[in-house]
Amino acid sequence: MCRLLAYLGPNISLNRLLFEPEHSLEKQAWQPRELREAKLNADGFGFGWYHHRQAMRYRQPIPIWNDANLQDLATSLHADLYLATVRSATPGLGVGHYNTQPFRYQNWLFMHNGYIRDFAQTGRPQIRKILAHEFEANIQGNTDSEYIFALILHFLENNNMTQAIIDAFSILNEILGQHSALLNIMLSDGERIYATRYAINGLSPSLYYGVNVEGFAPGSQLIVSEALNDSTHWQVVDEHRLLIMSRDDDRVELAL
């Protein structure tokens, strides 16, 4: 289980998201409010952004509070789109750079909050049978998250991203049977942010979105695992939903 954050809006420093809010992502690493199956998010952190429309990322397999360089980096880095996460590793899925999000393929960035129960025995062998070689070969770690990303990319070859997510979740429903999976994901191509609140045989993790939230500039759009402050602008994302946010403030919410 992890805590996720996505931002789209006017250019801001990363510090504004990671450290400044009263319930910032950094605070969610050591004092989460809605983390049901863990107590801390101390198994790494990472964030992604776009520089001249190219996907960039920074990942560390250490607690976010142990990176002595992060405060300077977060203060100096400015962008208009961010994905960021703090990680609580699923038992059996190791801590290291290759298992630390966000994952990247070409210009796509991806994060996942949740798990596939008994992934090594249930999900991984079945997903490998489906994946085109190109996407299996791109997998560097052993997390369920990276395999879910590869599965979505597989279906993206012949579909748009919305349909690729729908097809990937449909296949997971088929192959997992009675096993559970929590599938809150966030993806971006630098223009749009796609986020899901979804579970198979389980209760979806928390997810909220906010537009023009107090403390952020007009036009700011955020999707978060936990609200960053006490603003009344935060809205709960319903279970089994796909939320799409774009630069023109045209939000779409679809049932999955």
Q: How far is it, in rounded angstroms, from Cα 61 to Cα 173? A: 31
Catalytic residues, by residue number, are: 2
| DSSP for the chain, written as a single string | -EEEEEEEEEEEETHHHHTSSTT-HHHHHHS-SS-SS-S---S-EEEEEEETTEEEEEEESS-GGG-TTHHHHHHH-EEEEEEEEEE-PPTTS--SGGGSSPEEETTEEEEEEEEETTTTTTHHHHHHHHS-HHHHHT--S--HHHHHHHHHHHHHTTS-HHHHHHHHHHHHHHHHTT--EEEEEEEE-SSEEEEEE-EESSPPPP-EEEES-TTS-TT-EEEESS-SS--TTEEEPPSSEEEEEETTS--EEEE-
Beta bridge partners of 55: 50
Residues in the chain: 256
What does each of the 256 residues of the chain score in pLDDT, given as a tens digit? 799 999 999 999 999 999 999 999 999 999 999 998 888 999 999 999 999 999 999 999 999 999 999 999 999 999 999 999 999 888 777 788 999 999 999 999 999 999 999 998 889 999 999 999 999 999 999 999 999 999 999 999 999 999 999 999 999 999 999 999 999 999 999 999 999 999 999 999 999 999 999 999 999 999 999 999 999 999 999 999 999 999 887 789 999 9
Cβ neighbours for 106, distance < 8 A, ≥ 6 positions apart: 55
Query: Whole-model pTM?
Result: 0.96
